[in-house]
Structure 1
Amino acid sequence: MTKPAAESPATASYYVGDAFYQDLVDAFAHLEADLPEIADRDLRDRVALLLNREARLLEQERYDAWLDLFVPECAYWVPATRPPGDPRREITVAFHDRRQLEDRIFRIRTGYAWSQSPASRTVRQVTNIALFALPAKADPGDDRLLARSVFQITEFRDGDLRRLDGHAGHLLVDGPVGLRIQAKQVNLIDCDQSLRNPSIVF
């Protein structure tokens, strides 16, 4: 979809349509497939640095810097089903485009977001990083990468300590400014259970 001249992804969801959704569904479906891993050590190290930096920025509540890791036309998806399906047809814990992510960050900063009053303290572990090339499609120029990792988030909030576990998928593009995230899918192992307050799951 062509970007309207007067719009930006921070203020309008112009790029989110059926083709965008279908692309995400197709790409992340490969997380469950037995694709051959990319063996390029330098590339794998670059991906690991990106994912570790993302975790660190979230721990430090540096949300603007975290969002800078994403391309402008991005998505963040937390499925509520196992296996993940289609966010057009199924309930999600969260599905945000850039406009919604910026709105969420703004609300947290106001100090009046009930889900983060008091604010959470978190530490995050990212392990078992694997990197794949998307299978060839009709577009031979699609050279995006798919990373799969296992995460553990430990949260302390309002006297309560809890842990969230699962695996994440990152759809990555490599450009002039380096690796950036086009979309992130967060697959909680208990996504279909009561999650209480899932506001810290970025």
Structure 2
Amino acid sequence: MSSLTDLKERARSLLEEGHSPGQIADELSLSMETVTWLLTQPKGDTAPRDVHIDWTCVSCDATLLESAASMMIDRYLPPAERREPLDADVIVGIAISGIPLATLIGAREGCRLAVYHPAKHAVSETPIGSISGNFASVQEKRCIIVDDVITSGKTIAEVIGYLRRHGGDPVAVWVLFDKRGITEVEGVPVYSLFRISRID
């Protein structure tokens, strides 16, 4: 999916299938602003500044996905510097794309797994984010937040706020791609494998 036309068609198709704009943004690794523009495209409106990232060749292959998770661990603390286990109790995967990465990281590092459903996925009048009750609790736990892409940083800030309000201690954010070039969110350090920049 490389052209703007392809992105518009994919966004409209996902909307017709019942996906919320937030879910579409996650599926296409785009900001909500860009997804809104793709779906509505007001006349005379210029396209938002965004970069589409298609990493399906990795996300669809369990072996490559495991390698990506391993690189995320090594980015946080290079093997030559590791003398102790990971300094976290719970790996928090942000739905949807952060969950497989968080699962693989948790399995390798012996950490528990929590799953966060962001507010942008909610369909209620007053959307809120939440930790799934089917996975680990975050209360009084050191947590590493895992996702595929930081687009605006809003979802990461939301998760950090949620963890703090519910007794969790967010110690790091791990992402594959950082489209903002940031080193921290709400005082929590960000470790990305790739920083994506748009140069016009």
TM-score (norm 2): 0.30
Higher relative contact order (CA 8 A, sep 6+): 1
- Bigger fraction of residues in strand: 1
TM-score (norm 1): 0.30
